[in-house]
Amino acid sequence: MDWREDFVESLLDKEALEFLVKYHLGDAAAGITRQVIGKGLSSLSEPQLYVFKTEVVDEWLIRKCKRCQADVPGHDLIGVWENDGFCSYCADKIAKDD
Ligand SMILES: [Zn+2]
């Protein structure tokens, strides 16, 4: 069973992936992620796909907002990482309620 069949490719937001490479990933995962940015998922070997899935996709890309449980689209991921797991809408609400 290939995980890519269920994977939403729009989660591969270039800006979000570059952010991970810069601030969060170890050398191996960062190198693989750079390759995904440049050449796409189909350019990865099986072992690379496994590392990408476990260290990048599962760890960083598949996110639900902690408050409203909405799936987070690729271009909003950086906001969620920086807002401690909340989408920008909820982070805004929380800031106002305080
Ligand atoms: Zn939310």
Give tens-digit pLDDT for 40-87. 999 999 999 999 999 999 999 999 999 999 999 999 999 999 999 999
3 located within any domain? no
For the beta carbon of residue 68, count every other beta carbon within 10 angstroms.
11
pLDDT higher than threshold 80 for residue 98: no
Type of residue numbered 13 = D
Sequence-ordered list of residues with C-beta below 8 angstroms from that of 15, at least 6 positions apart, any chain? 75, 78
Compute, in angstroms, the gap from residue 64 CA to the centroid of ligand 1.
8
Domain residues for 42? 8-62
pLDDT tens-place string over residues 1-45: 689 998 989 999 999 999 999 999 999 999 999 999 999 999 999
Same domain, 38 and 67: no
Compute, in angstroms, the gap from residue 34 CA to the centroid of ligand 1.
29
Q: Which long-range contacts (CB under 8 A, 24 or more apart) does 46-55 make?
A: 49/4, 53/3, 55/25, 55/26, 55/28, 55/29
What whole-number distance in Å separates Cα of residue 35 and Cα of residue 42? 10
Same domain, 43 and 83: no
User: Domains in the chain: how many in total?
Assistant: 2
Compute, in angstroms, the gap from residue 81 CA to the centroid of ligand 1.
12
